[in-house]
């Protein structure tokens, strides 16, 4: 690799230390108890990487760079302070799009002014290896950008969460991907502008085509997948910039995002390829018969729910996206505290794909100061439902649907779900009986003999239950 200038010996060491900090950050983020420490390690590592880069590069004046950092930091600070927790998935998708666009812009800058990046050979041509790095970085970055924009629009409600199925989409997608890879290969022999810009345009297009067929129920996996893409884009641009910190960071983000996507696909009994192919929830048919309004169900009140839980020995609370929309997590924690004061054991059950992004429910419960040792993942809590008096479901629809275990015609068939129906009593908060879950599937749990529907806004219902418990 051609070097622009002599690199001081301490620079690789500084980047290595930054990389170690990033690894420690990931390790810390693997557990709620250590997540704050993990964030601190990430901040320290990024500070080391940024300062090292500023000291060793003279692409722009220090004043210009500091002004850019101040503007970006101020925007980020304002967004972070104002963003609602319910909008966190959209924010993550938006940030992924920015990483992708940054990779595209760096690649374009390197193509237009390769000498500034030190990637010219003796004949004044862009190095072959740099062309490959540049092509891959721009392609992955463009896919990340356009895919993240579509994910944002779906999550934010600006676009329908249902899959948008294009005719012959698999042929179109495979053909476009093959054209991109072929053009990147051709770029090694011909560095004409039309090759580079065609790769860029096709990559923007394929990102759009890959995400629009994906249904809302697969959005947690999509967010995780786009996170992985953004990491690989950063790593590819790290090679172009000859920056080992970017390579390390990008590889960490890319690999961890890919692993998380795989874990979440397993939690949904889905293959990663099938998620990319899209269509989940597009033609969903309720697994249990007629419309909800035509089927008998039990309806209860806040007083009924308070009485049942007050008499229980153990209550398992199952939060979902409905809790996030209603911002009911603080009232829910207060309800849990009151039940514990009455001698009731309270636990929280989290499905891996509850909410609209990985860890969405964990973040909301942590925000409400729910003790970490009361929060359990699906595989650790499922056996507890049969021994529990009450399962309290607040806005978790698809992940509690028992038809996933029995109805082979259901699009969520085979997806591991929380066994809430095994509890003696199921209390299910839902705004109304109309409508289905995000996967478009009616929940058979609503009509079970041991289920009592609490039809109201989630926050108001929980607050009314709290009043009845006092």
Residue 408 φ then ψ, to 5°:
-70, -15
Separation of alpha carbons 217 and 356, rounded Å: 8
Q: Is 424 exposed, middle or buried (0-12, 13-18, 19+ CB in 10 A)?
A: middle
Q: What is the DSSP letter of 120?
A: B
Question: Is residue 302 within 8 Å of residue 464, measured between CB atoms?
Answer: yes
CA distances 272 to 20, 297, 360, 411, Å, are: 29, 37, 20, 16
The answer to whether 121 is a known catalytic residue is no
The closest of 469, 170, 426 to 303, measured between CA atoms, is 469
In whole angstroms, what is the distance from residue 385 CA to residue 394 CA? Answer: 16
Burial 426-443 (b: 16+ CB within 10 A, else e): bbbbbeebeebbbbbbbb
How are strands ordered across the β-sheet holding 375-377?
A: 298-299, 451-455, 425-430, 390-394, 314-319, 345-350, 375-377
Q: What SS3 class is residue 453?
A: strand
Beta-carbon-side half-sphere exposure of residue 227 (alpha carbons within 13 Å): 22
Number of neighbours of residue 18 by Cβ within 10 angstroms: 24
Q: Indicate which residue of 218, 371, 380, 398 is catalytic.
A: 398
Contact (Cβ atoms closer than 8 angstroms) between residue 42 and residue 21? yes
Beta strands in 310-389 (DSSP E): 314-319, 345-350, 375-377
Structure tokens belonging to residue 166: 């294009």
Give yes or no for a contact between 86 and 216, defined as CB atoms under 8 angstroms apart.
no
Identify which of 442, 446, 417 has the alpha carbon closest to the alpha carbon of residue 429: 446
How far is 444 from 436, CA to CA, in rounded Å? 11
Please name which of 29, 32, 85, 35 lies closest in space to residue 329, comparing C-alpha atoms: 85
- Closest to 292 in 3D by CA, of 440, 434, 117: 434
253 vs 66: CA distance, rounded Å: 26
Catalytic residues: 398
């Amino acid at each position: 690799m051609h070097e622009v200038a002599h690199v001081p010996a301490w620079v690789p060491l500084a980047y290595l230390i930054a990389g170690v900090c990033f690894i420690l950050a990931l390790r810390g983020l693997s557990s709620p108890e250590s997540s704050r420490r993990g964030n601190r390690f990430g901040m320290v590592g990024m500070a080391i990487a940024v300062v090292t880069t500023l000291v060793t590069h003279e692409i722009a004046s220090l004043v210009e760079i500091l002004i850019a950092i101040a503007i970006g930091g101020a925007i980020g600070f304002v967004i972070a302070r104002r963003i609602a927790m319910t909008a966190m998935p959209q924010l993550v998708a938006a940030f992924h799009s920015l990483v992708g666009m940054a990779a595209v812009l760096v690649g374009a800058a390197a193509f237009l002014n390769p000498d500034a990046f030190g990637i010219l050979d003796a004949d004044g041509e862009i190095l072959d290896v740099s062309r490959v790095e540049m092509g891959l970085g721009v392609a992955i970055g463009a896919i990340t950008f356009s895919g993240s924009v579509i994910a944002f629009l779906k999550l934010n409600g600006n676009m329908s969460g249902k899959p948008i199925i294009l005719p012959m989409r698999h042929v179109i997608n495979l053909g476009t991907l093959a054209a991109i890879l072929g053009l990147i290969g051709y770029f090694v022999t011909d560095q004409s502008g039309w090759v580079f810009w065609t790769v860029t345009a096709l990559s923007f297009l394929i990102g759009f085509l890959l995400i629009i067929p994906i249904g809302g129920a697969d959005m947690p996996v999509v967010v995780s997948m786009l996170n992985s893409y953004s990491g690989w884009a950063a790593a590819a641009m790290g090679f172009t910039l000859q920056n080992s910190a970017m390579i390390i960071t990008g590889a960490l983000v890319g690999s961890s995002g890919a692993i998380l996507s795989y874990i979440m696909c397993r939690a949904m009994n889905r293959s990663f390829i099938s998620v990319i192919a899209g269509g989940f929830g597009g033609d969903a048919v309720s697994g249990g018969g007629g419309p909800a309004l035509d089927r008998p169900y039990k309806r209860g009140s806040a007083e009924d729910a308070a009485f049942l839980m007050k008499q229980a020995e153990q209550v398992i609370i199952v939060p979902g996206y409905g809790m996030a929309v209603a911002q009911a997590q603080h009232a829910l924690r207060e309800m849990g505290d009151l039940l514990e004061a009455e001698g009731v054991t309270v636990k929280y059950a989290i499905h891996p794909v509850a909410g609209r992004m990985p860890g969405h429910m964990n973040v909301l419960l942590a925000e409400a100061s729910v003790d970490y040792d009361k929060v359990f993942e699906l595989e650790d809590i499922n056996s507890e439902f049969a021994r529990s008096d009450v399962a309290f479901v607040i806005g978790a629809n698809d992940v509690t649907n028992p038809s996933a275990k029995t109805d082979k015609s259901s699009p969520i068939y085979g997806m591991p779900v929380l066994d809430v129906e095994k509890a003696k009593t199921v209390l299910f908060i839902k705004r109304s009986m109309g409508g289905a879950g995000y996967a478009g599937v009616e929940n058979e749990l609503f009509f079970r003999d041991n289920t009592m529907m609490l039809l109201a806004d989630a926050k108001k219902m929980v607050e009314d239950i709290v009043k009845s418990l006092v």
